[in-house]
Amino acid sequence: MAPKKYPHDITFVSPEEEKLIVKCIYGYLKCGTFVKVGPQRYVLPAKFRRCAEYIYNMRVRPDDTWVITFPRSGTTWTQEMVWLLQNDLDFKTAKEVPLYERFPQLIVTAQIPDLAHYLIRANFMNLANFQGLDAAIRQPSWEAIDHAPSPRFIKTHLPLSLLPPNLLDVAKVVYVARDPRDVAVSYYYLQKHIGKGIVRASFMEFWEAFRKDLLPFTPVVAHANEAWQKRNHKNLHFIFYEDLKKDLSLEVRSMCKFLGREYSDLKLSLLVDHLAFDNLKKNKTVNNNLHNDQKAQFIRKGEIGGWVEHFDEKMVVQAQEYLRTRLAKVDVRYPTIPCSVTDTDCWESEKEVTHL
C-alpha cells in the first residue's frame, strides 16, 4: 500500500466551540473557522487545510535550524539567540533585517484569515506589514520557505507530529516550553494588543477557552510533551523559558554546544547583553516595531509567575485541575509546577487539607 500523504484526521470545531474561539482571537471574527487535527486534536485555523499535507511532506535540509514552540513561550528570544549563534554573531545584519525575514514563520499565511489580509494591507490598527505579512500574503509562507536558499531558519508553532516525520533525523531543532499559566496570560495580551477593540474576551473568557484546549495550537501540554519525549535525540535541544530567565549565559553556552559553535567568553557576553530583556524590547528588528508607533509588540513583561496577578481563587483551582489532568497523561514536567500538582497522591492529600 502506498504511504499516506497525510496521516491525520482534520475535523471542524463545533459551533459552540467556534463561538468561544472567535471571541478570543483577533481577526477570526466571522471570517474563518477552526479545525482540530490529529490524535491530539490540535486546534488550528481552517486555512491550515491548505498547507497540512504540503508541510508534512516538505523536504527538510541538513543545514536547517528550526525553532518550535507553543505561542508565547519565548520563541522570539530563542530565535534571535539561535540566529546569531549560527551566523557568526553578525549583530550588524541582526539590527538591519527584521527577525521575521531572517527566521520566517512556517504557517503565518494560514494563521491570518482573508479579511485580516485586507485590514493589514490597509494598515488597520497600525498593523502595516505585521510580522512580514505583506510577503506572506503575496506567496504562501510554506512555499516561500520551501524554496528559500540554504541555510534556512524556520519558526513554527506546529507540534512535532504535524511536521515532516524525518525532521529530527535531518535538521537541528530547538523546542522552548513555558509554564502554561504564564503562556495563557501572555497569549491573551498579544491578542488584545493585535486586535485592540476587536477582541472582546475578558481574560476570564480567554482562560476558559485556553483550559478547554480551544485556542489555536492547544493543547499546550501535549504540544510540549511531544518534544519532551524526544529530548534526548541528538538533534533536539529542549529548553524552558524559565531556565533562560534563570541563567541566560548558561543557556547560551549550552545552545552553542548543541549547535556546534564556539565563541570567546567576550563575544558570548556581548550576545547575552544583546538578548537581555530591556535591550531586546528596544530592538526594532526583533520586537516587531519597525513601523512607527506599532502597538503589537512581542516583548511585554518577561516575568516568571506573572499569572498570579491575573487568576482569581476560582481560576487558581481550575488551573491546578487543568494541569493535574493534562500532566497525568504525559511525561513532561515543568520547573515551576510543583510535584503536588502532578503527583496524584500529593494532590489528593492537598485537596483534603484545603477542604478541612
Binding site for ligand A3P (CB under 6 A): 69, 71-77, 182, 186, 189, 245, 275, 277, 280, 298-302, 306
Kindly state the DSSP code that residue 337 receives in the 8-state scheme: S
Q: Tell me whether residue 271 is exposed, middle or buried, using C-beta atoms within 10 angstroms of its C-beta: 0 to 12, 13 to 18, 19 or more.
A: buried
Give the residue with the Cβ less far from ligand A3P, 71 or 159. Answer: 71
Amino acid at 258: F
Give the residue with the Cβ less far from ligand A3P, 54 or 189. Answer: 189
End-to-end CA distance of the chain: 61
Q: Tell me whether residue 122 is exposed, middle or buried, using C-beta atoms within 10 angstroms of its C-beta: 0 to 12, 13 to 18, 19 or more.
A: exposed
Give the residue with the Cβ less far from ligand A3P, 61 or 310. Answer: 310
Least separation, in Å, of the C-beta of 182 and ligand A3P? 6
Least separation, in Å, of the C-beta of 106 and ligand A3P? 14
Closest listed residue to residue 102, CA positions, set 140, 163, 155, 31: 155
Least separation, in Å, of the C-beta of 285 and ligand A3P? 13
Residue the block writes with cell 500538582? 341
Least separation, in Å, of the C-beta of 342 and ligand A3P? 23
Kindly state the DSSP code that residue 237 receives in the 8-state scheme: E
Give the residue with the Cβ less far from ligand A3P, 281 or 351. Answer: 281
Give the residue with the Cβ less far from ligand A3P, 276 or 316. Answer: 276
Least separation, in Å, of the C-beta of 298 and ligand A3P? 5
Q: Whose CB is nearest to ligand A3P?
A: 302
**Lookup: cell for 228:** 519532551
Least separation, in Å, of the C-beta of 319 and ligand A3P? 16
Least separation, in Å, of the C-beta of 300 and ligand A3P? 3
Between CA 219 and CA 305, with CA 70 as vertex, the angle to 5 degrees is 95
Closest listed residue to residue 221, CA positions, set 40, 35, 39, 14: 40
- Phi-psi category of 126—alpha, beta or left, where left has phi over 0 and alpha has psi -120 to 50? left
Give the residue with the Cβ less far from ligand A3P, 245 or 291. Answer: 245
For 83, phi then psi, to 5°, come to: -60, -45
Q: How many whole angstroms from its chain centre is CA 131?
A: 14
Cα distance between residue 143 and residue 139, in whole Å: 7
Give the residue with the Cβ less far from ligand A3P, 191 or 320. Answer: 191
3-state secondary structure of 10: strand
Give the residue with the Cβ less far from ligand A3P, 36 or 72. Answer: 72
Amino acid at 300: R
Least separation, in Å, of the C-beta of 345 and ligand A3P? 32
